[in-house]
Structure 1
C-alpha cells in the first residue's frame, strides 16, 4: 500500500528544504504537493501497491488525461510533469531505488515535438572520480571540532558501506563498533534486514568519533548527533555532504549522500568485489540495478 499522506508530506518538506539554489515559493510547493497527492491517489485507484511499479505509461496516463478522460490542458500537463520529475528526484535523494519515469516521459514528449530530448551527453557522472574521492576525504578530515570529527567519520562510513541516508541517520552507537568489525546489520526498504560486509578503510576516523561521541551528554543513542546531542536528520546529512563537496571544489548533478552511495558501489566493483555481494550490500532486489555501477570507475591507482 502506498503511503499517500507520508510521501506527500515528506516531498513538500523536501521542496521547502535547503536542496535548491533557487528555493521554490510557498505557492509552488502547495501546488506541487497537491499534484503529487492526486498522482498517488490515482496510482492507488489504478491498483499500484508500490512506487517501484510506476512506469512511463502510468505517468503519461495521469499527465495527459483530465477528469472526463479527455486531453488535459497544456498548462496542467506542464505542472503535472514538473511536479512528478521533482517527486522522483526526491525519492532518489532519500535512497529509493527507482528510476524517474516522469523524466523519461518528459524526454519522450520533447522527442515527439522535435526537440532533442534525452539527457545531455555532457552531464556529469553520478559518481565521484578517484581524485575527487581523495579531495573529499581530505576536506572532511581538516577540522578537529566535534562536528568536524563527526563529519570525517560520517563521510568515511558512507563511502565504505554505501548506506542510504535514512539508514545512516538510524545507526546507533553500537553500530559504530559494528562498522569497526567490518559488518553492519541495517533495516532497509520494506523493513528488510540485510548484512553489509565491507572493509572499514576509515576506521581511525570512526574510532576518533566514537571517543568524542561517548563524551557527549545526551539520551539519544544514535551514532551521529549534533553538538547538542540531537540525532542527525536526513536534511542535515544532505547539508553536511553538500557543504563538504562544495568546499572540496566538487560539482556534480547530485550533491547529497546518495552520490556517495553510488560512489561506494562503483568503488567496490572497481576493486573486484563480486557483483552479487555489492547487490546484497546495497539491498537491491534486482541485480540489474546494481550492474549500472559497473565500469563507472576504472581501477584505482596503484
Structure 2
C-alpha cells in the first residue's frame, strides 16, 4: 500500500495540472511564509514528505518507548553510582553540576536519532539527544506547509493522512515538569540560546506558540541574563522556567561555571528543562553503558 501511495504522489507531480515546478514554488512559498530556514538554507528541498503506514508508526513508537524506558533506568542508576558514571567519561564540570537537578527525570523532551529501513522493517538508533533536542517546531510548521500544497490536498482525496503535531506536547511537558518541581501558577519561559545560532527561527516558532497559548516567553542570549533580587532576568523579563536550547558544554566554555544560570539554579530561583543531569545520557558512551551486560 505504501509503495502505491508513493507512486500515486509522484505521478501527480508529473501531471500537467500539478507540475513539479508548481509544487516546488508552492512549497518554497510555504517555507518563506513560515520562515522555515536553518540559517540561510531552506529546511526542506524535496517535494514529498516521508510517509509511514499506521503499522510502521506503531512499531517505531513501541521500540522507542522501550529504549527510552531503559535510558531512564540507567539515568537513575548513574545519579547514585559513581562507578557507572565513570563509564560516561564526564567532564569535571558535568560531575560537579549534575546534582543541581535532584529529580529522577531531568528532561522535558528528548530525541532518539534513528534510521528506519523500509526493506527490512527495522529501526536502528544512533544517538540519544537528551540535552537540547531540536526540531519539534520545525516539524509542525513543515507539515503545515506540505498540507497546504495542492498535490497533498489531491493526495488526501484518496489516502487518509494523519499529521503528528508536537508543539502542544512540548508545552504540556514543560509546564508539567515545572509543577512537578514545585512551581506554581503559569511560569514565564526564557528560551535560552546564543543569538547567532542557525536555529533561531525555530526558537521564534516556539515563542509564538507559547504566547498564543497564554504563556509569556522571551528569547534571550545567556550572556544577556542577570541574576538579581532572587530571580533570573532577561532585561525586565523575569524568567521562571528556562527552556534550554543552549548546549551545556558551550555555556560553560564561554561563560564558566560562575554564570547567572548556575547561580539561579543553585539559589532555587529558576527551573530549567533538560538540565545539567540530562548530560549524563547525552553522551555517545551512553549506548555502550546501556548495552554492556556487566551493568
TM-score, normalised to structure 2, is: 0.26
Greater C-alpha radius of gyration: 2
- Structure scoring higher RCO (CA < 8 A, sep ≥ 6) equals 2
TM-score, normalised to structure 1, is: 0.26
In terms of fraction of residues, the more helix-rich structure is: 1
